[in-house]
Structure formats: structure tokens, C-alpha cells
Amino acid sequence: MLAEAERRAYLEALEVDVWTLRGSAADEKPITADDDSVQDSEIVSWSELREKVSSCTLCSLHRTRTQTVFGVGSESADWMIIGEAPGAEEDRRGEPFVGRAGKLLDEMLRAVGLARDSVFIVNLLKCRPPNNRDPTVDEAALCRAYLDRQIALLSPKLILVVGRIAAQHLLETDAPLGRLRGRKHYLNDGKLPVVVTYHPAYLLRSPTQKRKAWQDLCLARQIMSELAA
């Protein structure tokens, strides 16, 4: 039997995208009985999940955070927006995508007829990594159960994932962002479409890429139109 990494390498070479939510024994990092993370078999409400996240001490990030950043928006939204991790201002305010990058994200959403409070915005990590460094593999793995439960509770019709780090962790691939954007991916056994685009912070540094980001937003809007047809 092929190892998981080897199997994925073959699929990528064939340009076949098959992504699933974490949940199988092969995909999940073992969690001990003493862990306070969310088990896939648990049925929890939004309030229970918020409480679990706010008190989480699974990784060392809890020692340096000001507070956890759970997510904001409508708990019945059709769109879920997923970023990488909180920054300094997000850590201070407890809300994802604030500051200049957040304002640009709001503008991107308005361009396709969406208000910030009509979508649900989250990050892969719920705590800020020191100095805004990239999440480690272990941090992302330990926090993934919270994200998966948010997806399950929200049951969105589409996920827009912004930035290379978030996209690679969500889709469990090391493919560059250029290969991930401009096409449809799927989670949840092909039932949940995912569109990848640039992070707003990157677009602030590289405004010439905004045209490509607009193309990605148009793809997401097209998918939603097809689902509604």
C-alpha cells in the first residue's frame, strides 16, 4: 500500500485534486484522552466551541497570546473565509482580519456583493504565533479540529481560503499558490467547493496581483451561482 505522502505525490503529478476534511484515522494526529481538543464524534454548539477555543492550552501559543481569535460573522453564512493566523492587532482585539488587510478583505467581499457580517471569517490558527511567524506543522494539526468543527457547524456552501500557508494546510499539500488558485478544490468528499486566492496583506504589498484576486472572486461567485441554479 502506498504511503499517504507518496499517494498524494502521484495525485498531484496527475493534477488530480482529492481533498477531504480531517477525520479518518490515517489523517488525524493522535489525541490523548487528556487533550481538551474537539473530537470529530462530539456534537458541540457554537457557544461550547467558543469556550473550548478560549481555554485551549494544547500548544505553546497559549503562553504568548493576549486572547484567542475564534472568528466573526454570520453563523448561517454561505461563505466561509479562512486565513492563516491572527496578527498583533487581531490578537489584541480578538477579531480576525482587522487593520489594513481587513479593510481590503472587506472591499474584496463588497466587490462580489457581500458584507463582512454576511460571511464567516476565521483563521487556521486561533492564537497568534510570536512575531507573526508561520504556523508550525504541530500547531496547525492541533488547531485543525477546531476549524473542522467550525466548518461542520456552519455548513457553508463555499470556502474562500486566502494565502499560501492557509491553503496548503487546509488542502494538505505543498503545491505553490500559483498552482492552487484559479481552479476548484473540494473538501468533505467533494461536497464543499474551495477557492484559493491571495492574502489581502500580500495584495497590499503587490497591488498588481489584485486583478488575479478578482478573477478568483469571480470564480467563487460563479460556483455559488451554479449551486443556486
Q: Check whether 43 has a pLDDT greater than 60.
A: no
Q: Specify the pLDDT at position 34.
A: 42
Q: Check whether 54 has a pLDDT greater than 70.
A: yes
Q: For 72-81, b where at least 16 C-beta lie within 10 A, e where not — what string?
A: bbeeebbbbb
* Among 68, 117, 75, CA closest to 93: 68
Judged by average pLDDT, the poorest of 131-135, 153-157, 191-195, 218-222 is: 131-135
Write out the H or E segment, with its range, that includes residue 106.
helix 99-111
The domain locations on the chain are 4-228
Average pLDDT of 1-26? 46
Backbone dihedral region for residue 97 (phi beyond 0: left; psi -120 to 50: alpha; all else: beta):
left
Average pLDDT of 77-86? 97
Where are the strands (E) in the chain, listed by range? 72-73, 79-83, 120-123, 158-162, 185-187, 192-197
Q: Specify the pLDDT at position 29.
A: 38
Judged by average pLDDT, the poorest of 16-20, 158-162, 216-220 is: 16-20
**CA–CA separation, 216 vs 196, rounded Å?**
7
**CA–CA separation, 109 vs 60, rounded Å?**
34
Give the 3-state secondary structure of 179-209: HHCCCCEEECCCCEEEEEECCHHHHHHCHHH
pLDDT over 90, % of the chain? 78
**CA–CA separation, 212 vs 72, rounded Å?**
26
56: CB partners within 8 A, 6+ apart:
36, 37, 62, 68, 126, 127, 146
**CA–CA separation, 150 vs 187, rounded Å?**
14
Q: Specify the pLDDT at position 32.
A: 36
- What letter does residue 163 receive in the DSSP assignment? S
CATH number of 4-228: 3.40.470.10
122: CB partners within 8 A, 6+ apart:
70, 71, 80, 81, 82, 83, 96, 147, 150
